[in-house]
Structure 1
Amino acid sequence: MDPACVSTNALSNKSDVFSFGVLLFEVLFGREASSIKNSDNWYFARLAQSHYEEGKLDDLIHPDLRKQMNVESLNIFAEIAYYCLKAQRSQRPDINQVLPELEKALELQHKYEHRLTAGASLSKHLKEQLFESQAGAKHEIRTIKAQRSSV
């Protein structure tokens, strides 16, 4: 849950961005936030942020994913997730800023895979996770846009 909700007792679009950041790190780590100590998203977020800030994110990224992803694509993906988890809502990106960055990361990954056509490409499991993540992002954006247009 968005840590800002504790003090404001209110959800916002930036709360959705925080939750989306948790989802992105779940994809990178290959596990749900609830599978990590206390099943607390804020603990999970702090863990991800501290590893990102210390340059130790590789310690948490799923080994299969790390081996199969383009480094630049992985870095963009991780950076997006990191900024989505900022404690201050004003420091988080708008969801409309997130999608183009994810598309950029995906494009880099596609180029990387294309260069590897003679070798192995992403595993079926990873492709499914990335597809689900992208589909989830698009759904979140449509939901937020629909909420905004109804206000």
Structure 2
Amino acid sequence: MNYYFRRIKSLDIDSIWSLIERLKAEKAEMSFTDYTSKEDIMNLVDNPSQLTYAAVTKEEPFRVLCLVKGRRKMSIERSHCVFLSAATHPDARGSGLAANLTNFALNQMKNEGVTIARIYVYSNNKASINAIKKLDFVHAGTVLRHYMDPLTGDYVDDLIFHKILDD
């Protein structure tokens, strides 16, 4: 599958929305599934507080295979920090695409003045934890018993990771 990385554009909205609908159908627990309309996605385009990047296929029909978003506050005190979210289309999972796009996005964000990235991930999301560690994020803390999984009855922790970008 041939693809390239770039900031999202308005022409990506339908493909991004399709990905979000798939994630919702999977009952994925992530920030992208909080979006309720294509207008919400449009608000990510060219938004300096929502630095959003995509892996997009080179062949038509063009599809967004993976997203990485860095959300930040635009105050002088907070614009240096982003909270990352990532989502990968089921057809592209396990390919390393999310890691490669994350590295690309972090480099772009660094050019935008970002010096630290944080990721929150649930302790039962082993695939994301492994990916984060491969990207050299450091475990920075844990919110114990963040919620109880209704399917298993087990408590799930919220793990906090960070990576300094100005090295």
Specify which structure has the higher proportion of helix: 1
* Structures share fold, TM-score greater than 0.5: no
Specify which structure has the higher proportion of strand: 2
